[in-house]
């Protein structure tokens, strides 16, 4: 996936590249281009990409059900669901949930007499958590 800038037409500036693997069947823009769903064949089905920093996009997670290929996709107008065309037909993936998770996060900043010293992370400090799901 290549992010380009068309700010100074006719010049096309390459902002960043991200290797996805497989053949790309399409890209779905989410949250005002802050996230993308890449639809791929041969290397998974759907890849979620965080592109808030356009110069450094990264893969958040991949979804592949039964080692299938995806060919195209779209979202509803409220971006609550994505609709993916795959080997098995249409697949609907929810993009939003009403689930809330309470967390308290601290960083380990040292050790004192064999005990860890931690510093709480402020509630307004952004951070990224990457989750991997393995289905056997």
Would residue 35 count as lying in a domain? Answer: yes
Q: What mean pLDDT is predicted for residues 8-12?
A: 92
DSSP E strands, the chain: 2-5, 13-17, 23-30, 35-41, 46-50, 58-63, 70-75, 81-86, 89-94, 106-112, 115-120
Would residue 5 count as lying in a domain? Answer: no
Would residue 54 count as lying in a domain? Answer: yes
Q: Please write the tens of the pLDDT for every residue from 30-85.
A: 989 999 999 888 766 888 999 999 999 999 988 887 777 888 889 999 999 999 88
Q: Find the domain containing 37 and state its range.
A: 14-98
Q: Please write the tens of the pLDDT for every residue from 73-116.
A: 899 999 999 998 888 888 888 888 887 777 778 888 888 888 88
Number of domains in the chain: 1
pTM greater than 0.95: no
Would residue 107 count as lying in a domain? Answer: no
Would residue 2 count as lying in a domain? Answer: no
Who wins on pLDDT, 122 or 15? 15
Would residue 71 count as lying in a domain? Answer: yes
């Amino acid at each position: 996936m290549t992010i380009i800038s068309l700010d100074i037409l006719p010049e096309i500036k390459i902002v960043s590249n991200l290797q996805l693997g497989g053949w790309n069947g399409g890209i779905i823009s989410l949250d005002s281009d802050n996230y993308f769903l890449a639809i791929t064949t041969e290397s998974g089905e759907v890849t979620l990409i965080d592109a808030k920093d356009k110069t450094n996009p990264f893969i958040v997670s991949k979804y592949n059900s039964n080692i299938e290929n995806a060919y195209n996709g779209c979202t509803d107008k409220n971006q609550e669901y994505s609709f993916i065309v795959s080997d098995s037909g249409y697949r609907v993936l929810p993009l939003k949930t009403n689930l809330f998770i309470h967390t308290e996060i601290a960083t380990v900043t040292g050790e004192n007499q064999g005990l860890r010293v931690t510093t709480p992370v402020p509630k307004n400090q952004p951070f990224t958590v990457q989750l991997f799901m393995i289905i056997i």
